[in-house]
Amino acid sequence: MSFSESNPADTRRRWIAAGTTIAADPDATVDCPVCGQEKLAVQVVEWPDGSKVDLHMTCPNCGARNVVTKQK
C-alpha cells in the first residue's frame, strides 16, 4: 500500500510526526507524509512581533502542505 492509499488517520499521524521533527530542527530532512516520494521543503516565517515562527512545509512532488506555528 502506498502512502496515497492509506487512511486519513495514518496521514494525520505522519503530518504530526513531520511537524514535530521540523519544529525541533527546521533543517531536518523529512519525507512527505502524503506521497513519501520527496523530502519536504520548509520555509520559516517569523511573526511580525517576533514571538513565534510559522514553519511552512511543502512537498515538491505532490504539492501537499501544512504549517506548524511554534514559540521562539
Q: Which three cell numbers stand for residue 34?
A: 502524503
Residue range(s) defining the domain that contains residue 43: 3-71
For the chain, which residues score pLDDT lower than 50? 1
What CATH number has the domain bearing residue 30? Answer: 2.20.25
Question: Chain centroid to CA 69: how far?
Answer: 11
Is residue 19 within 8 A of residue 68, CB to CB? The reply is: yes
Angle at 10 between CA 9 and CA 16, to 5 degrees: 90
Which pLDDT score, from 0 to 100, does residue 22 have? 95
Q: Name 40's bridge partners.
A: none
Burial 25-40 (b: 16+ CB within 10 A, else e): eeeeebebbbeeeeeb
Q: Look at the chain and report how many structural domains it folds into.
A: 1
Amino acid identity of residue 40, one-letter, is L
